[in-house]
């Protein structure tokens, strides 16, 4: 594990195992690179800003405590804050490297984010979050823990309510070469069509226009009477696949996003043609926010498992 200066002099951590590597900015605890056998799996925009209080474009933005628009800034503040490095660990047995980041309520969160109140008395959200990134020789584990650290006796006034998503941008050979498996038969909120609830009828989900969907309740397919198909990104151009596993009880939703031509042009920190080389597949809890009473905790885990190059 090394600490280096990254873009715009922001500090980044570089994690390495015998066959893999990972880079994480302290700003947003934002993963900007994940390689196995020297192959990069994450997309980073060449136009990304690396500025205080702004999100990095690409990699794995951590979306918390709000997804999309709402009371606070779009996609929450976790991706815009500097996190504390809490622990670093090397495990000789599994040959993995782990880093733990910590974020507590701070001056900034206290200014922008208050509790849902029932008694008319406004209270701040007290929280303790841990983001644990573990780099294995051939995959990446992302774990996120939240505790409501409020000590107020009146628990109704201190419910910590949040959404969460790992907003991962995958690097692909070209959008026309890729499809996503594991979404067949699911309902999704189609943000491109007035938030209409639509049923996915394709076993291979391909993207050929602006796409912004929240797939709901993506639990293993046995439960809807089909054979189990894990969530997978297949790239026929690079002949690779990435399997995404996650704790579906705590994170049942999956977002699929690609801005396509017109939206790309409007985004100032994204190249006009970059939509061809990325797809976001975001695991999270979006449709049903989590609610924690004082002292209650939430834990979740998501893993990104790239295939060997020869497996397709």
* Using rule CB under 6 A, residue 302 touches ligand BG6: no
DSSP 115-178: ---SSS---BPPEEEEEEEEE-SS-EEEEEEEEE----S-GGGG-EEEEEEE--EEE-S-GGGE
Minimum distance of ligand BG6 from residue 218's CB (angstroms): 15
Minimum distance of ligand BG6 from residue 282's CB (angstroms): 6
Q: What is the DSSP letter of 223?
A: G
* Using rule CB under 6 A, residue 35 touches ligand BG6: no
Nearer to ligand BG6, 58 or 182 (CB): 58
* Using rule CB under 6 A, residue 41 touches ligand BG6: no
Nearer to ligand BG6, 55 or 242 (CB): 55
Closest chain position to ligand BG6 (CB): 257
For residue 133, the cross-strand partners are: 99, 142
One residue of 25, 50, 246, 257 binding ligand BG6 per CB under 6 A: 257
Residues 169-208 that bind ligand BG6 (CB under 6 A): 191
At 309, phi and psi to the nearest 5? -55, -30
Nearer to ligand BG6, 139 or 260 (CB): 260
* Using rule CB under 6 A, residue 255 touches ligand BG6: yes
Contacts of 183 (CB under 8 A, 6+ apart): 200, 202, 205, 215, 218, 231, 254, 256
Residues 203-232 that bind ligand BG6 (CB under 6 A): 212
Minimum distance of ligand BG6 from residue 140's CB (angstroms): 20
* Using rule CB under 6 A, residue 282 touches ligand BG6: yes
Question: Which DSSP helix (H) or strand (E) runs through 109?
Answer: helix 107-112
Retrieve residue 239's tokens: 């002949």
Minimum distance of ligand BG6 from residue 124's CB (angstroms): 24
Minimum distance of ligand BG6 from residue 87's CB (angstroms): 28
Give the CA count within 13 Å in the CB-facing half-sphere of 188.
Answer: 23
Determine the Cα–Cα distance for residues 178 and 27; give it in Å rounded to an integer: 31
* Using rule CB under 6 A, residue 75 touches ligand BG6: yes
* Using rule CB under 6 A, residue 55 touches ligand BG6: yes
Active site residues: 167, 282
Q: Is the bond into 144 cis (omega within 30 degrees of 0)?
A: no
At 87, phi and psi to the nearest 5? -155, 150
Closest CA to 181 of 225, 226, 133, 243: 243
Contacts of 114 (CB under 8 A, 6+ apart): 122, 123, 124, 125
Binding residues for ligand BG6, total number by CB under 6 A: 9
Minimum distance of ligand BG6 from residue 200's CB (angstroms): 16
Retrieve residue 221's tokens: 């397919």
* Using rule CB under 6 A, residue 167 touches ligand BG6: yes
Q: What is the DSSP letter of 250?
A: T
Q: Which stretches of the chain bind ligand BG6, using CB under 6 A?
A: 55, 74-75, 167, 191, 212, 255, 257, 282
């Amino acid at each position: 594990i090394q600490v280096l200066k990254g873009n715009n002099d922001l500090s980044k951590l570089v994690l390495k195992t015998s066959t893999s590597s990972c880079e994480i900015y302290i700003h947003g605890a934002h993963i900007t690179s994940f390689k196995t056998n020297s192959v990069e799996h994450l997309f980073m925009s060449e136009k990304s800003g690396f500025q205080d209080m702004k999100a990095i474009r690409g990699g794995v933005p951590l979306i918390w405590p709000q997804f999309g628009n709402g009371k606070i800034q779009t996609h929450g503040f976790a991706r815009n804050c500097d996190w504390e490095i809490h622990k670093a660990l090397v495990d000789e047995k599994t040959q993995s490297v782990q880093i733990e980041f910590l974020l507590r309520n701070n001056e900034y969160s206290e200014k922008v984010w208050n509790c849902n109140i029932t008694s008319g008395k406004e209270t701040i959200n007290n929280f303790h979050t841990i983001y644990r990134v573990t780099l294995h020789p051939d995959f990446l584990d992302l774990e996120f823990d939240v505790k409501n650290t409020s000590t107020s006796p009146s628990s109704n006034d201190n419910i910590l309510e949040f959404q969460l998503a790992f907003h991962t941008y995958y690097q692909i050979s070209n959008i026309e070469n890729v499809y996503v498996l594991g979404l067949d038969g699911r309902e999704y909120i189609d943000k491109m069509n007035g938030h209409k609830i639509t049923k996915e009828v394709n076993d291979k989900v391909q993207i050929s226009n602006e796409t912004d969907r929240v797939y709901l309740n993506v639990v293993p397919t046995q439960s809807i009477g089909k054979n189990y198909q894990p969530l997978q990104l297949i790239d026929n151009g690079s002949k690779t696949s990435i399997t995404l596993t996650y704790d579906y009880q705590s994170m049942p939703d999956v977002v699929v996003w690609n801005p396509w031509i017109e939206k790309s042009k409007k985004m100032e920190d994204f190249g006009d043609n970059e939509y061809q080389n990325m797809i976001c597949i975001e695991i999270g809890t979006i449709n049903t926010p989590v609610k924690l009473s004082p002292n209650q905790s939430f834990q979740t885990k998501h893993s990104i498992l790239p295939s060997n190059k020869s497996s397709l």
